[in-house]
Chain A
Amino acid sequence: MSVVRVPPVLRSEAGGAREVEASGSTVRELLEDLSTRMPALGSKVYGEGEIQSFVNVYVDGEDVRTRNGLDTPVRDSSTVILLPAMAGGR
């Protein structure tokens, strides 16, 4: 199981949790698993086999788009961060 960090704008979809768990040996498998466990959260991040365009996914500190996209490997000890843009400055 890998740890998935939930950004503040999506916490209501994760029952208020800051971190959830999901498993998979690739990002695709992990996001599929996440969508099964927590459909509301999953659908905001992943749909129709693609990462939603307003969200970035980082595995162990690196953007998966600069690695192998959805085929990027994920380990048990990996930390996955979901990151949508935040506008707030005030």
Chain B
Amino acid sequence: MTTYRELLQRTKDEISEIDAGTAQATPGAAWVDVREIDEWQEGHLPGAVHVPRGYLESRIEAVAADKTQPVILYCAAGNRSAFAAKTLQELGYENVHSLAGGFTDWKRNGLEVVLPRTLSPEKRTRYSRHLLIPEIGEEGQLKLLDARILLIGAGGLGSPASLYLAAAGIGTLGIVDADIVDETNLQRQIAHSLDTLGTPKVDSAKRAIQALNPDVDVITYRERLTSENIDRILDDGWDIIVDGADNFPTRYLVNDASVWRGIPVVHGSIYRFEGQVTVFKPHEGPCYRCLFPEPPPPELAPSCAEGGVLGVLPGIVGTLQTNEAIKLAAGIGEPLVGRLLLLDALATEFNEVKIERRADCPVCGDHPTITEYIDYVEFCSHA
């Protein structure tokens, strides 16, 4: 009958045990931490991946597919990693080593240790449905919590966008809107309510956001975007802009600024039953001016107040914009860069056209002719 100590000694005799110096000098090694999750969360070795010993056999091949590649295993003291090394040898790994003295000695010798950022239990609960999705997980959720997204407009498009971005846990939301909530808005601008009639839309939206998710930091800009304030607003630092503006002058200002600052813009626009969505990613795809170099004449630019809009339409388009913004923030999926999505809500038909960056674009092209903000005169009346 073998004791634990005998088993451990016998195992150590059968595997390769190396010290920290030798381990660090091994090129191209995969470092694997076989401890439990609570130990991992208190700190781990730089570049290590976590495969708890209970999952070693089932997960190691996903982490180190090449069995000739050096693998360095460690645990707290060098015991569990010895057993793990033996297991990997049995699985056919040719170049396995166990770190003598484990994490404890490593840390005691003052070598570099990484503290992982993890979600608090409250956040794990709130975002559990995100954490279950492999493409998001904890890493993706942390990216969403770190993201800073600016919403232009807290109206038809901005309402669903602000609510769903807040629900997703976007850490910082900026909202730019000079308007006051009025009754005609309530047919579609669902971030507002009877309770906030007569109050600024940015405050109304902030209230709705914080009732949904207090994790979100909301920065309000109760002003109309112009060449005078756009730099000040953008200087606050934004990763993504969600364009829910209702007029051309603003859209062109946002576009030009985003190209010059390298900020992706998720574009959405609506009229009656039709919507358009795309992502303008500076220098990777087209910008708004590649699509429409100049604003159209007034007769081709009616506002929703003049033409009307199906209430639910901005809900659909704004939510599609939010989907794109979340994908950009988390770095997943294929955003609509170079693709213009067209929605006909009356026929429930989606179409897509390809849009390309133009070398002769006046702003993002090879020889830009527009290098300063333009405040186009706004000719359409708006609600």
Interface, chain A (partner B; CB < 8 A): 5, 7-9, 18, 44, 53-54, 56, 58, 61-63, 65-66, 79, 81, 83-90
Q: Could you jot down 8 A-B contacts, CB within 8 Å?
A: A8-B272, A9-B301, A9-B307, A65-B358, A87-B248, A87-B380, A89-B153, A89-B269
Most buried by B among A5, A44, A86, A89: A89
Main secondary structure of the interface of A (DSSP, over half): mixed
Are B295 and A85 closer than 8 Å at their CB atoms?
yes
- B292 proximal to A (CB < 8 A): yes
* Interchain CB contact under 8 A, A85 and B297: no
Besides the known contacts A87-B251, A89-B158, A89-B270, 4 further A-B residue pairs in the complex with CB atoms under 8 A apart: A9-B300, A54-B294, A62-B354, A86-B270
Instruction: Point out the residues of chain B lying under 8 angstroms from A81, CB to CB.
Output: 342, 351, 353
Give the residues in chain A near B344, CB-CB below 8 Å. 18
Of B300, B354, B383, most buried by chain A (CB within 10 Å of CB) is: B300
Q: Is B382 within 8 A of A90, CB to CB?
A: yes
Q: Encode contact with A along B266-307: 1 for CB under 8 Å, 0 otherwise.
A: 001111111010000000000000011111110011111101
Q: Which residue in chain A gives the minimum CB-CB distance to B300?
A: A84
Binding-face segment, B10-18, B69-77, B134-142, B239-247:
B239-247
B352 is contacted by which of A61, A86, A87 (Cβ under 8 Å)?
A: A61
Residues of B within 8 A of A65 (CB): 358
Chain B residues 74-131 with CB under 8 Å of chain A are none
Residues on B with C-beta less than 8 A from A18 are 344, 346-347
Is the beta-carbon distance between B247 and A87 smaller than 8 angstroms? yes
- A90 to B271 alpha-carbon distance, docked (Å): 9
Instruction: Tell me the B residues contacting A by CB distance below 8 Å.
Output: 153, 155-158, 185, 189, 243-248, 251, 268-274, 276, 291-297, 300-305, 307, 309, 314, 340, 342, 344, 346-347, 351-356, 358, 380, 382-383
Residue among B243, B295, B302, B353 making CB contact with A58, cutoff 8 Å: B353
* Also in contact, A88 and B351, with CB within 8 A (given A18-B344, A54-B296): no
With both beta carbons as reference points, the residue of chain A lying nearest to B353 in the complex is identified as A58
Contact (Cβ within 8 A) A89 B245: yes
Query: Is the beta-carbon distance between B303 and A90 smaller than 8 angstroms?
Result: yes
Q: Are B274 and A8 in contact (CB under 8 A)?
A: yes
Out of A44, A56, A58, A87, name the residue touching B269 (CB < 8 Å): A87
- Give min CB distance, B218 to chain A, whole Å: 19
- Supposing A87-B246, A88-B270, A89-B243 touch, asked if A61 and B304 sit within 8 A by C-beta, the answer is no
- Provided the pairs A62-B354, A86-B271, A90-B153 are in contact, do residues A53 and B293 lie with their beta carbons within 8 angstroms? yes
Residue A87 contacts which of B189, B301, B358, B383 (CB distance < 8 angstroms)? B301
Check if A90 sits within 8 Å of B383, measured CB to CB: yes
Give the docked Cα–Cα distance between A19 and B248 (Å). 26
Q: Is there contact, CB below 8 Å, between A88 and B246?
A: yes
What residue of chain B has the Cβ atom nearest to residue A79's Cβ? B351
Q: How far is the CA of A88 from the CA of B344 in the complex (A)?
A: 15
* Smallest CB separation, B171 vs chain A (Å): 24
A-B pairs, top 8 by smallest CB distance, nearest first, are: A54-B296, A90-B155, A90-B246, A86-B269, A89-B246, A85-B292, A58-B353, A88-B304
Contact assessment for B244 and A63 in the assembled complex, using a CB-CB cutoff below 8 Å? no
Contact for B248 among A61, A79, A85, CB less than 8 A: A85
